[in-house]
A and B are shown apart, each in its own frame.
Chain A
């Protein structure tokens, strides 16, 4: 799909840095912004949720960090951690899929590209899925599809809002048609969640593409995105080849999608938790208070329940 594009378009770092700083960057003491090249103490950057203090660039965060940023302390309960990918097609390109999986697992200490669980957000329980782009570009194979489906089903059973933080290049080619079918599977689970009048909010982060865009990323009752995230169906390069001309700079960004009516709001990461909590509260089912004297004869009205 379009993973290739993301790698090809990754911004190259700019201005030179001194040797000493180079070492400290390597040690992780400092972090250089890939957008404006500003050096910031990693500790300060962390406390600003990895958003550049100079230019507001949203750097990539791991699923672990994301959960910490979003979920109230000590309320996260991970689910389905025992699900592990396998290699059903015995797929081998320049490298065997099984080796790619092992390498990604060693690098990320994750079993696959999504973490799911139940946690609280300003005291309100939600079912949360967080994709992790570091794991094979956040691509969706059987495990990602299954974990998200189970998460949504649990959300339906326990009547919880579902939030999915998307970060994915799309379907996982190495699982062939099994990966394509995950798009339908997750969408089916969302249909059941929805028919129970429960809230689903995807949060689109950089990048969200391909089969994820063409399924659960675009199925939110409300859709949020981080600033300047790339959100696409087809990769920019493919579209350029089809058109044989240059595309506008903001093409396939959060801002572009907001202008074209496909997302509801762009929310800076530092405001994300607050915004989600607000939306969850606004959609909490409350029984409507009937003003006195408006009782319609013959129709039973619900009595007031204090929240």
Chain B
């Protein structure tokens, strides 16, 4: 999938013990071959231990470690999933206002026989691509391009599938000049109006308003190791703790993991990832995604467009926790 020529694994710091164990297995195997000794029992034990260790590591990631997995350079991106899950696909370009933002991609596709519109933020697959894609941080024109494609979906009665993967909307001069706030706000409002089914999935990083700008839908799913946060833990730490190094505490406090958001009632479904994260088996991960999309579309098809819009409104309407005088804490 990711088309980098160098396929050596990129290891995160918490994967080091696992990497060491795997190196040791290779060394023992080589030594055994040189000296013509049978160590298969020993190797079998070590391999079992490696599987166990991988499982242990990935089942107890801290929120900041989850963020590292979510930002992994080899993590499958929007276009990777598009290629893996669609039978047919054509990318469409432009906001019809003078720009085409490569950080936001979209087009028409066929999933399981059904025409859909897919939009999502696109991170780069290598350094050069990342510069071109602005690291997946879309400008206002990116959000307007997304909206234009969603209107297209509505026009031709195609469901909308969005893939969220961004550190946030781009905080630059041009972004402010061209109305980053207006572009996102407009999408938030209009996504409530669109009558076709909308399924949103956080595939990697869900960064604040920039993520939400394509995140209003009938269903919200998140991959197991993806995160969704109101502000980056680094940013939060530097504001509230006055110290960016307190990012681990901020990541903990902000409740950014899929499990946290499920508990808060914001998330509809957590999509499991292979042990080792989505990048360890992108095709299997894509199968999980495709199956979930097809299943949710079938459910949403049972409703009229009016019912869907109503339920979409009620869904977001219910978010928030407060106390009302004389009542129990409401949700």
Q: Which residues in A have some Cβ–Cβ distance to B below 8 Å?
A: 1, 3-4, 81-86, 88-89, 91-94, 141-143, 145-146, 149, 171, 173-185, 187-192, 194-195, 210-211, 213-219, 232-235, 238-239, 242-243, 247, 251-252, 260, 262
Contact = CB atoms under 8 A, between A and B. Distances in A.
Contacts of B172: 234, 239, 242-243
Nearest to A194: B189
B235 interface: yes
B92 interface: no
6 closest Cβ pairs, A-B complex: A82-B325, A234-B171, A142-B320, A213-B181, A187-B188, A93-B240
B256 interface: yes
Given A177-B266, A191-B190, 19 more contacts: A1-B239, A3-B239, A82-B326, A86-B323, A94-B240, A173-B239, A176-B254, A176-B264, A184-B188, A185-B319, A187-B189, A187-B216, A188-B192, A188-B216, A218-B179, A219-B185, A233-B181, A233-B209, A238-B171
Contacts of B212: 180-181, 183-184
B36 interface: no
- Name the residue among B171, B181, B238, B329 with the largest chain A CB count within 10 angstroms: B181
A93 B253 contact: yes
Contacts of B193: 191, 195
Nearest to A86: B323
B177 interface: yes
Contact of A176 (B170, B179, B249, B255): B255
A191 B192 contact: yes
Given A233-B171, A239-B176, A215 B185 contact: yes
Interface in B194-233: 208-209, 212-213, 215-216, 228-231
A173 B266 contact: no
B185 A86 contact: no
B208 to A, nearest CB: 6
Contacts of A89: 253-255
A239 B322 CA distance: 34
A190 B266 contact: no
Interface string B233-245: 0011011111000
Secondary structure type dominating chain B contacts: helix
Interface string B243-279: 0000001100111100011001010000000000000
Contacts of B313: 188, 192
Nearest to A145: B320
B252 to A, nearest CB: 10
Interface residues of B, number: 61
A8 to B, nearest CB: 10
Nearest to A245: B173
Given A173-B236, A184-B188, A232-B176, A262 B256 contact: no
A142 B322 contact: yes
A234 B179 CA distance: 11
Nearest to B193: A191
A19 B219 CA distance: 63
A93 B323 CA distance: 22
A233 B189 contact: no
B195 to A, nearest CB: 12
Interface of B: 169-173, 175-182, 184-186, 188-190, 192-193, 208-209, 212-213, 215-216, 228-231, 235-236, 238-242, 249-250, 253-256, 260-261, 264, 266, 312-313, 316-317, 319-326, 329
A185 B320 contact: yes
B325 A233 contact: no
Given A93-B240, A176-B255, A86 B230 contact: no
Contacts of A174: 240
Nearest to B325: A82
Given A215-B188, A233-B181, A252-B176, A185 B230 contact: no
B321 A177 contact: no
A90 to B, nearest CB: 8
Contact of A185 (B241, B253, B316, B323): B316
Contact of B171 (A141, A149, A187, A242): A242
B181 A218 contact: yes
Contact of A181 (B179, B180, B239, B320): B320
A214 B180 contact: yes
A266 to B, nearest CB: 17
Given A83-B324, A171-B231, A262-B179, A181 B171 contact: no
B254 A184 contact: no
Nearest to B323: A84
B317 A82 contact: no
B255 A214 contact: no
A194 B189 CA distance: 10
A295 to B, nearest CB: 36
A181 B322 CA distance: 14
A159 B180 CA distance: 31
Contacts of A91: 253-254
